Chains A and B, each alone.
Chain A
Amino acid sequence: MTPLINETFIQIVYLVATALFILALKWLSAPGTARRGVWAGELGMLLAIGGTLLYQGIVDYKWIVIALVLGSIIGVPLGLVHMTAVPQRTALSHACGALCVALVGTAEYYLRAPNVPPFMMAVLSMEVILGSLTFTGSLMATGKLQEILPQRPITYKGQNFVNLSLLALAVIVAAILVLHPGQKHLFPLLIGIPLVFGVMMIVPIGGADMPTVISLLNSYAGLSAAAMGFVLDSKLLIIAGALDGSSGFILSVIMSKAMNRSFTNVLFGAFGQVQPAAVAGEEARTVRSATAEEAASILAAANSVVIVPGYGMAVAQAQHKVRELYDALSKRGVDVKFGIHPVAGRMPGHMNVLLAEADIPYDKLMDMDAINPEFPQTDVVLVIGANDVTNPAARQDQGSPIYGMPILDVDKARTVMVIKRSMSPGFAGIDNPLYYLDKTLMLFGDAKAFVGDIVRELAGGGHA
Chain B
Amino acid sequence: MTSNLITNLYVFVLAGFIGFEVIRRVSPLLHTPLMSLTNALDAIAVVGAIVLVGEHKSTLATVLGTVAVVAATSNVVGGFLITDRMLKMFKTSKPKKP
Q: Which residues of A contact B (CB under 8 A)?
A: 17, 21-22, 24-26, 28-31, 34-35, 37-38, 41-42, 44-45, 48-49, 52-53, 55, 57-61, 63-64, 66-68, 70-72, 74-81, 83, 86, 89-90, 93-94, 96-97, 99-101, 103-104, 106-108, 110-111, 117, 119, 214-215, 218, 221-222, 225-226, 228-230, 232-251, 254, 340, 342, 347-350, 352-353, 356-357, 359, 361-365, 367
The B interface is mostly helix, strand or loop, or mixed, namely helix
**Complex Cα distance A104/B68, Å?**
7
Contacts of B25 in A (CB 8 A): 26, 29
Which residue of the partner chain, among B16, B22, B65, B77, contacts A25 with CB atoms under 8 Å? B22
Determine whether the beta carbon of A222 is less than 8 Å from that of B76.
no
**26 A/B residue pairs, CB under 8 Å, sorted by A:** A28-B34, A35-B87, A41-B40, A63-B65, A67-B73, A75-B73, A75-B76, A75-B77, A75-B79, A77-B78, A90-B35, A90-B39, A93-B36, A94-B39, A96-B74, A97-B39, A111-B61, A221-B42, A235-B11, A238-B12, A242-B16, A245-B19, A248-B35, A340-B28, A347-B32, A363-B94
Determine whether the beta carbon of B16 is less than 8 Å from that of A104.
no
Which residue of the partner chain, among A25, A110, A229, A361, contacts B92 with CB atoms under 8 Å? A361
Question: Which chain B residues (74-97) contact chain A, with CB distance < 8 Å?
Answer: 74-94
Which residue of the partner chain, among B38, B52, B74, B84, contacts A35 with CB atoms under 8 Å? B84
Determine whether the beta carbon of B31 is less than 8 Å from that of A86.
no
**A142 → chain B, closest Cβ, in Å?**
13
Q: A75-B76, A238-B15, A349-B29 are in contact. List 5 more A-B contacts (CB 8 A).
A: A31-B30, A49-B46, A93-B74, A241-B45, A367-B29
Determine whether the beta carbon of A70 is less than 8 Å from that of B70.
yes
Contacts of A60 in B (CB 8 A): 53-54, 56
**Complex Cα distance A352/B38, Å?**
18
Determine whether the beta carbon of B16 is less than 8 Å from that of A232.
no
**Complex Cα distance A40/B32, Å?**
18
Determine whether the beta carbon of A78 is less than 8 Å from that of B45.
no
Asked, given contacts A238-B12, A349-B32, A364-B93, whether A248 binds B38 with beta carbons under 8 Å apart, the answer is yes
- The interface size of chain B toward A, counting residues with CB under 8 Å, comes to 82
The A interface is mostly helix, strand or loop, or mixed, namely helix
**Complex Cα distance A119/B24, Å?**
32
Contacts of B88 in A (CB 8 A): 35
Which residue of the partner chain, among B38, B53, B77, B86, contacts A353 with CB atoms under 8 Å? B86
**Complex Cα distance A34/B84, Å?**
9
Determine whether the beta carbon of A247 is less than 8 Å from that of B51.
no
Which B residue sits closest to A352, measured CB to CB?
Answer: B29
Contacts of A225 in B (CB 8 A): 42, 44-45
